[in-house]
Chain A
Amino acid sequence: MASTEIMTVNMGPQHPSTHGVLRLVVELDGEVIQKITPHIGYLHRGVEKLSEHRTYHQALPLTDRLDYLAPMSNNLGYVLAVEKLLGIEVPERAQTIRVILAELTRLKSHLVWIACHALDIGAMTVFIYAFREREKVMALYEKISGARMTSNYFRVGGLSSEVYDGFEKDVQEIVDTFPGHFDTYEGLLTKNTIWVQRTVGNGVISAEDAIDYGITGPALRGSGVDWDLRRDNPYSGYEKYNFQVPVGKNCDTYDRYKVRLVEMREAVKIVKQALDSLKPGPILADAPQVCYPPKEDVYNTIEGLIHHFKIASEGFPVPEGEVYQSVEAPKGELGFYLVSDGGTKPYRMRIRPPSFVNLGAIEKMAKGAMIADLVAVIGTLDIVLGEIDR
């Protein structure tokens, strides 16, 4: 074999398949990848630093902008962490609505994943279909919170407002129609020869290596590790719902694809169960020192106005201590580590981003593969740069 010269290629930061502003410096021997050096930070906004200068409620909108494909999952992780620090209990109705929205968010995020992943590998049709369905969830987001992406709908202690009239009907429509759409995607991909050839045996990482690299979420389950935070360390009432945790066997891109597809079907099942169990009741905890008063009181009574003003201007004190709360976000384990010094602002807020840690394994997964396969590996890791860079 003739000796070849190692070539260094710069991929990104503006590359359609890097899903944002990821730059990979790839060293190639012909077409074979020898080394990958990720360069990140193009989207660094200093969320952790900023939140140290904001009250607990003011830090909440920052979390929308982490994984901007799944804002409500980020909101959920954050409010759960603050509630844990405060030691307050959230009413059942608020918990159930949170679960419905968190699972719809998972669908929304996975729909972008399947759309872009398929598009990267050359299956363009799926993109059009998946974005059509994503629009349904976006419309629901807009109706419920006023924003299509940066929802900022949850509050410490519950929800910002009661759901709109007809919410149940809209969710029911998603529950009824989405499984049929998933069949469409499977029909387009699962037995598609090109898809199978591009994904089977691609980006293989064993269960031991995946744990060693800290991979979490569907990417870890694709390697056969049966672990899901919703089932194993339940939060927000997840213990009440029946759902399967899919696991893969061959540790490759194809298995991760199948895991995520089953996860979408299971998410619909959880939404259905949660919707059936939804009962009227309060949506905010009985904790006036933390929760905003109802708007009628703010507009019509002086006590309500003072109460609102006090919480909005100086926030609420949080007991001294530290907690780590994580949720099973669509990308993996999203954790919030909050340290309080007893004041109204977090002393330190650490966000444990799943995409950031998952990206650390990219060289392990793509080394020795062809450069075209690197695109498939980026897609299967399902990274979001807003969360990696924070």
Chain B
Amino acid sequence: MTNMAETNRAVIRLKEKFASSLLEIKEFRGEVTVTVKKEDVIAVCTCLRDELGYNLLTDVTAIDYYGKTPRFMVVYNLYSIPAKDRLRVKTPVEESDASIASATCLWNSANFLEREVYDLFGITFTGHPDLRRILMTDDWVGHPLRKDYPLQGPDREPYKGRLS
């Protein structure tokens, strides 16, 4: 895996087509991460899937950078079965407008994965056919993977370590 970010085929193509929406291109330990604007994420993913062969959406997840703006980062891990390489697409999501277009129009695998992100981070996916909680119960309050959600759960004293 020696493809540096600058010579990566996807990066070259995205620079031609989506120059204005690319926020950052980064390479770390041989993995290329492209950060794009939220409005263009579906267009970028469509281009990656149809023109560059990233046909498998491996994973959709999010990171909560609590205390920073924008607070959330939604992460798409893409894989190309023909070319056997990976690409990570990230997009920032504001806390005040915690919603993003759903990728279910491109991949059905996004269905469950986006439901999980919605459940645990509270980010809504517009255009998702069945956006319900998936791991927590339907009447659960709060989103457990947010950094301001206490580890012990709500209404509980924080864990103070073993007393004996």
* CA A210 to CA B144, docked complex, whole Å: 31
Whether B135 pairs with A211 at a CB distance below 8 angstroms is: no
A182 at the interface (CB under 8 A from B): no
Residue contact A214 to B57, C-beta cutoff 8 Å: yes
What total of chain B residues lie within 8 Å of the partner, measured CB to CB? Answer: 34
Contacts of B18 in A (CB 8 A): none
Residue interface mask B93-112, A partner, CB < 8 A = 1: 00000000000000111011
CB-CB under 8 A from A322, the residues of chain B are 28, 31, 33
Q: How many A-B residue pairs lie within 8 Å, measured between CB atoms?
A: 91
Nearest CB on A from B136, distance (A): 6
Query: Do the beta carbons of A214 and B107 come within 8 Å of each other?
Result: yes
Within 8 A of A (CB), among B50-64: 55-59, 61, 63-64
Residues of A within 8 A of B58 (CB): 214, 216, 326, 333, 335, 352
- Candidates B28, B84, B134, B145; contact of A48 at CB < 8 Å: B145
Please, what's the 1-or-0 string for A300-337, where 1 marks a CB less than 8 Å from any CB in chain B? 00000000000000000000011110100000010101
Report whether B109 and A337 are in contact in the complex, using a CB–CB cutoff of 8 Å: no
B108 touches A213 (CB 8 A): yes
Q: Which residue of B lies closest to A323 (CB)?
A: B29
Question: Which residue of B31, B81, B111, B144 is within 8 Å of A360 (Cβ)?
Answer: B111
Query: Once the chains bind, are A335 and B84 in contact (CB under 8 Å)?
Result: no
Contact among B33, B56, B134 for A40, CB-based, below 8 A: B134
B81 touches A357 (CB 8 A): no
Query: For chain A residues 336-390, which have a beta carbon within 8 Å of chain B?
Result: 337, 339, 347-348, 350, 352, 356-357, 359-361, 364, 389-390
B37 at the interface (CB under 8 A from A): no
Which residues of chain B have C-beta atoms less than 8 A from A321's C-beta?
A: 28-29
A212 / chain B contacts, CB cutoff of 8 Å: 107-109
Q: Is the CB of B29 within 8 A of A49?
A: no
Partner of A85, one of B29, B107, B135, B144: B29
A350 to B77 alpha-carbon distance, docked (Å): 11
Of A8-16, A139-147, A194-202, A225-233, the segment with at least 4 beta carbons within 8 Å of chain B is A225-233
Q: Are A360 and B108 CB-contacts (below 8 A) given A323-B29, A324-B77?
A: yes
**Is A265's CB within 8 Å of the partner chain B?**
no
Contact check, A357 vs B109: say whether CB atoms are below 8 A apart: yes
Q: Cβ of A352 and Cβ of B59 under 8 Å apart?
A: yes
Which residue in chain B gives the minimum CB-CB distance to A232?
A: B84
- Inter-chain CA distance A364–B108, complex, in Å, is 10
B69 within 8 A of A: no
**Shortest distance from the beta carbon of B128 to any chain A beta carbon, whole Å:** 13
Q: Whole-angstrom distance from the CB of B55 to the nearest CB of chain A?
A: 5
Q: Which of B1-44 contact A (CB under 8 A)?
A: 28-29, 31, 33
Complex interface: chain A residues within 8 A of B61 (CB): 337, 350, 352
Contact status B135-A44, CB under 8 Å: yes
> Complex Cα distance A211/B84, Å?
14
Nearest opposing residue in chain B for A390, CB measure: B135
- Asked if A50 lies at the interface with its beta carbon under 8 angstroms from chain B, I say yes
Q: Which of B75, B109, B120 has the most CB of A within 10 A?
A: B109
- CB-CB under 8 A from A360, the residues of chain B are 108-109, 111-112
Residues of B within 8 A of A225 (CB): 81
Query: A180 in the interface, Cβ–Cβ < 8 Å?
Result: no
Which chain A residue shows the least CB distance to B75? A337
A235 CB to closest chain B CB (Å) equals 11
Chain B residues with CB below 8 A from A333, complex form: 58
Shortest Cβ gap from B13 to chain A (Å) = 21
CB distance B84 to A233 under 8 Å?
Answer: yes
Kindly name the residue among B28, B56, B84 whose own CB sees the greatest number of chain A CB atoms within 10 A. Answer: B56
Q: Encode B130-164 as 1/0 by CB contact (under 8 A) with A.
A: 00001111000000110001010000000000000
Contact B59–A350 (Cβ < 8 Å): yes
**Other-chain residue from A40, A348, A350, A357 in contact with B135 (beta carbon distance below 8 A):** A40
Docked pose: A53 CA to B150 CA in angstroms? 11
Give the CA-CA distance A203 to B135 in the complex, in Å: 25
Most chain A beta-carbon neighbours within 10 Å: one of B28, B77, B135: B135
Report A-chain residues with C-beta under 8 Å of the C-beta of B33: 322
With both beta carbons as reference points, the residue of chain B lying nearest to A226 in the complex is identified as: B81
Bound Cα distance A245, B91 (Å)? 36
Note all chain B residues with C-beta closer than 8 A to A335. Answer: 58-59, 77
8 CB < 8 A contacts A-B: A212-B108, A216-B58, A326-B58, A335-B59, A337-B59, A352-B58, A359-B112, A360-B109
**Which 4 pairs between the two chains have the least Cβ-Cβ distance?**
A214-B109, A41-B135, A360-B112, A352-B59
Which residues of A pack against B, CB within 8 Å? Answer: 40-41, 44, 46, 48-50, 53, 84-85, 87, 209, 211-214, 216, 225, 227, 232-233, 321-324, 326, 333, 335, 337, 339, 347-348, 350, 352, 356-357, 359-361, 364, 389-390
